[in-house]
C-alpha cells in the first residue's frame, strides 16, 4: 500500500528561523548524535524480567505449558500452584544509565491450598483461560469486557487488571499480546498522518477533540510527519486550547495528551512516533509534584506497576517545558492564579526529591525545591489565563 499523500497547511517560512525552532533543532541534533543505549546485559544488570511482543501462537503455547506444569505439580502431590513474578515495590530497580525502572526477576508462589491465595489462584486460572480463548478466536477485548465475563469471581475490575499484568509477566509478553487492551483515552492532533488498520488518518483534520489514540498500536502503518517536535500535554483542557488555536500550524508539531494519568496506548504511541520520527519531546504539565512531575516521570521512566514492560513504554529525555515553579515569577503570574500546596502535596514533593530521575536532573531538583519553599503550585491554564 502506498504511503499516505497528505496535503498539510504550509508553515510560515519565518517560523523556521525563530528562536523556538532553533532551540528545537539543537535538541534534534543532540538526539541524532547521541550514542546508542547499552543493553541491560552490557550494563551487567542481570536477573531482571522484561517482556516482548509475542505472536498469538507463542502466547497460547506458553499458557498451555504453564497449565501442564500445574497438572504435573498436582500429580506429584505438590498441589495446585503458580510461580508468579513478584511486582512489589521492593523488586523495582531504577537503572540510571537507561533512566527507567525494571523489574527484578523474583518469584512468589500462588498456592490454591493457601487460604489467603485461593481467590488470586482462581482468578489467575480464569484470566489465562479467557486469554487463551481470545487468542484462538483472533479477537481483542477491553479490560472492562474481561471483567464483565465473571463479575462474581473478579468482584472489582482492579483485581482482574492486576492479574492480567501478572499473566503477561508470567508468559513473558506485553499486555497487548494477550489481546486485552484498555479503552481509548489519549488523543493526538497536529502534523502527523498514518494508516490505522489500512484507513488513512490525517491528524491536522481531526478538529478540536483530536484523533483518539487506538489501543492497537501495532496496526498503525505508514507514519509520516513534517513536525519538528512532539508536545506532550498533561490535560485535556490545554490540549483543546492548543488544538483550537491550530498551534501545530504556527509551529510544526504533534500534540498529544492522555488526559491526566498516562495510559498504556498513549505511552506506546509516544514511544513509537518518537523513535520512528526522531523528534524531541517537550512536556507541558502542571507545576504540581503529583499531577505534574509524577505524570512526566511515568512517561520518562515508567510506572512501578508495569516496570516489566518499561522498555516499550518509556520515552527518555523528555524536556520539561513548563509549567515550572520559576515560571510563576518569570511570567508574573498573578496571585489569584496560584494555588497553595496542601500537606499531601508537600510530602509528595519531598518524596520526589529522593527519586532517582529527579536526582539525575539538577535543574528539576532546583525547581522542585523552589516549589516546596514557596508552597505554591499552578495549572497549565495559568499560561492561557494571563495572556
Active site residues: 148
Angle, helices 343-353/362-374, rounded to nearest 10 degrees:
160
Three-state DSSP string of the chain: CCCCCCCCCCCCHHHHHCHHHHHHHHHHHHHHHCCCCCCCCCCCCCCEECCECCCHHHHHHHHHHHHHHHHHHHHCCCCCEEEEECCCHHHEEEECCCCEEEEECCEEEEECCCHHHHHHHHHHHHHHHHHHHHHHHCCCEEHHHHHCCCHHHHCCHHHHHHHHHHHHHHHCECHHHHCEECCCCCEEEECEEEEECCEEEEHHHCCCCCEECCCCHHHEEEEEECCCEEEEECCHHHHHHHHHCCHHHHCCEEEEECCCCCCHHHHHHHHHHHHHHCCCEEEECCECHHHHHHHHHHHHHCCHHHHHHHHHHCCCCCEEEECCCCHHHHCCCCHHHCEECCHHHHHHHHHHHCCHHHHCCHHHHHHHHHHHHHCEEECCHHHHHCC
Going by C-alpha positions, the residue among 258, 272, 133, 100 that lies closest to residue 188 is: 258
> What is the grid cell recorded at 128?
489465562
Amino acid at each position: 500500500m502506498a504511503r499516505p499523500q497528505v496535503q498539510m497547511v504550509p508553515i510560515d517560512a519565518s517560523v523556521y528561523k525563530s528562536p523556538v525552532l532553533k532551540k528545537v533543532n539543537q535538541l534534534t541534533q543532540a538526539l541524532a548524535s547521541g550514542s546508542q543505549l547499552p543493553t541491560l546485559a552490557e550494563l551487567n544488570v542481570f536477573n531482571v524480567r522484561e517482556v516482548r511482543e509475542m505472536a498469538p501462537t507463542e502466547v497460547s503455547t506458553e499458557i498451555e505449558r504453564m497449565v501442564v506444569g500445574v497438572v504435573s505439580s498436582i500429580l506429584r502431590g505438590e498441589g495446585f500452584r503458580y510461580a508468579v513474578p513478584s511486582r512489589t515495590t521492593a523488586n523495582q530497580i531504577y537503572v540510571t544509565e537507561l533512566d527507567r525502572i525494571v523489574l527484578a526477576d523474583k518469584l512468589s508462589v500462588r498456592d490454591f491450598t493457601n487460604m489467603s491465595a485461593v481467590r488470586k489462584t482462581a482468578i489467575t486460572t480464569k484470566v489465562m483461560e479467557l486469554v487463551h480463548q481470545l487468542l484462538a478466536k483472533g479477537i481483542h477485548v477491553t479490560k472492562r469486557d474481561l471483567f464483565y465475563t465473571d463479575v462474581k469471581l473478579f468482584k472489582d475490575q482492579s483485581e482482574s487488571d492486576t492479574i492480567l499484568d501478572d499473566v503477561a509477566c508470567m508468559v513473558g509478553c506485553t499486555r497487548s499480546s494477550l489481546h486485552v487492551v484498555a479503552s481509548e483515552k489519549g488523543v493526538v492532533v497536529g502534523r502527523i498522518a498514518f494508516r490505522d488498520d489500512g484507513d488513512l488518518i490525517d491528524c491536522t483534520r481531526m478538529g478540536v477533540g483530536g484523533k483518539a489514540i487506538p489501543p492497537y498500536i501495532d496496526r498503525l502503518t505508514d507514519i509520516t510527519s513534517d513536525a519538528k517536535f512532539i508536545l506532550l500535554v498533561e490535560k485535556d483542557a490545554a490540549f483543546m486550547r492548543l488544538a483550537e488555536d491550530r498551534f501545530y500550524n504556527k509551529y510544526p508539531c504533534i500534540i498529544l495528551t492522555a488526559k491526566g494519568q498516562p495510559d498504556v496506548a498513549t505511552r506506546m504511541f509516544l514511544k513509537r512516533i518518537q523513535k520512528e520520527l526522531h523528534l524531541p519531546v517537550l512536556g507541558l504539565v502542571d507545576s504540581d509534584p503529583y499531577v505534574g512531575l509524577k505524570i512526566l516521570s511515568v512517561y520518562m521512566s515508567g510506572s512501578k506497576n508495569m516496570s516489566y514492560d518499561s522498555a516499550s513504554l518509556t520515552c527518555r529525555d523528555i524536556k520539561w517545558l513548563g509549567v515550572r515553579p520559576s515560571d510563576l515569577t518569570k511570567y508574573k503570574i498573578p496571585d489569584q492564579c496560584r494555588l497553595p500546596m496542601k500537606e499531601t502535596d508537600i510530602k509528595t514533593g519531598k518524596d520526589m526529591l529522593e527519586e532517582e530521575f529527579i536526582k539525575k536532573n539538577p535543574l528539576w531538583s532546583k525547581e522542585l525545591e523552589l516549589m516546596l519553599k514557596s508552597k505554591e503550585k499552578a495549572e497549565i491554564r495559568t499560561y492561557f489565563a494571563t495572556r
